[in-house]
């Protein structure tokens, strides 16, 4: 449909990703959604293109950007949703853990954002919203994610630096930093309940609403929006 905006959303196979796809479609966007596995919760349509691929591979970014341009003509919004979080003591992290975090959290962001920004520069317009983590700058006792936060904190820093780098090119960069979310990623949370009392988890809708706000807030740039229910107030 002429005039419709287009969003690319990574790791849309379920949870926050699937919620984002549905919300952007309802808001009138065309969507290109990537995932590592076949998406059973979404069905391709005239406004939705589904792609499989490893976000840590350059080809996945190339395919997503090509699909957006070929099918819809523009890339107006990129949502870097793909990410993993490993919760274990610092001395228990392995090289394999580190490599996985770097591949999905950092390389995925780098490949997808770089490709998308090159297209956005042609129109001097666009925005990138990245899902990071509140723990990157708001640690909580009982949650051991130091190595995971090397990557998520890096994304926060990159977001703020990119906001300045491209401020005169009409491209905005913001991040949503969730705390615990009622999604599959946190179902196996092994944090010590004695050290850290239970807190209310955000819903998928809470995160989706924050992303939509940043996608549409034309004068918000370089913002790290925490959606964690003031979780640090409960830390010991």
**pLDDT by residue (tens digit) across 16-46?**
999 999 999 999 999 999 998 766 678 889 9
pLDDT value at position 184? 58
The answer to whether the beta carbons of residues 90 and 146 sit under 8 Å apart is yes
Q: Which H helix or E strand runs over 129?
A: strand 126-131
The answer to whether the beta carbons of residues 82 and 108 sit under 8 Å apart is yes
Percent of the chain with pLDDT over 90: 78
Please tell me the distance from the alpha carbon of residue 37 to that of residue 53, in angstroms, as a whole number.
Answer: 8
Please state at what angle helix 108-123 crosses helix 58-72, rounded to 10 degrees. 30
Per residue in 95-144, pLDDT (tens digit) is 999 999 999 999 999 999 999 999 999 999 999 999 999 999 988 888 89
pTM: 0.90
Per residue in 160-216, pLDDT (tens digit) is 999 999 999 999 999 999 998 876 544 444 444 444 455 677 899 999 999 999 999
Query: Buried b / exposed e across 72-109, counting CB within 10 Å, b at 16+?
Result: bebbbbbbbbbbebbbeeeeebeeeeeeebbbbbbbbb
Class of domain 6-234: alpha beta
User: Does residue 148 have a pLDDT over 60?
Assistant: yes
The answer to whether the beta carbons of residues 61 and 103 sit under 8 Å apart is no
The answer to whether the beta carbons of residues 78 and 24 sit under 8 Å apart is no
pLDDT value at position 174? 98
pLDDT value at position 188? 46
């Amino acid at each position: 449909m002429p005039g419709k905006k287009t969003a690319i959303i990574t790791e849309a196979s379920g949870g926050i990703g699937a919620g984002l796809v549905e919300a952007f479609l309802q808001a009138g966007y065309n969507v290109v959604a990537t995932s590592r596995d076949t998406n059973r919760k979404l069905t391709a349509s005239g406004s939705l293109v589904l792609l499989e691929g490893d976000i840590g591979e350059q080809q996945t970014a190339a395919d997503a950007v090509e699909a957006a341009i070929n099918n819809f003509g523009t890339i107006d919004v990129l949502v870097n949703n793909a990410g993993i979080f490993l919760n274990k003591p610092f001395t228990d992290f392995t090289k394999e853990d580190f490599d996985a975090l770097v591949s999905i959290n950092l390389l995925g962001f780098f490949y997808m954002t770089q490709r998308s920004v090159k297209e956005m520069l042609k129109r001097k317009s666009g925005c990138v919203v990245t899902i990071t983590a509140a723990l990157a700058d708001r640690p909580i006792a009982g949650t051991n994610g130091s190595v995971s936060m090397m990557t998520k904190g890096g994304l926060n820093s990159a977001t703020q630096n990119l906001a300045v780098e491209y401020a005169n090119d009409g491209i905005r960069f913001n991040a949503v930093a969730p705390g615990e979310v009622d999604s599959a990623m946190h179902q196996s949370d092994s944090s010590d309940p004695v050290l850290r009392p239970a807190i209310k988890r955000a819903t998928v809708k809470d995160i989706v609403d924050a992303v939509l706000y940043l996608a549409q807030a034309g004068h918000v740039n370089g913002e790290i929006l925490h959606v964690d229910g003031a979780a640090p107030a409960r830390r010991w």
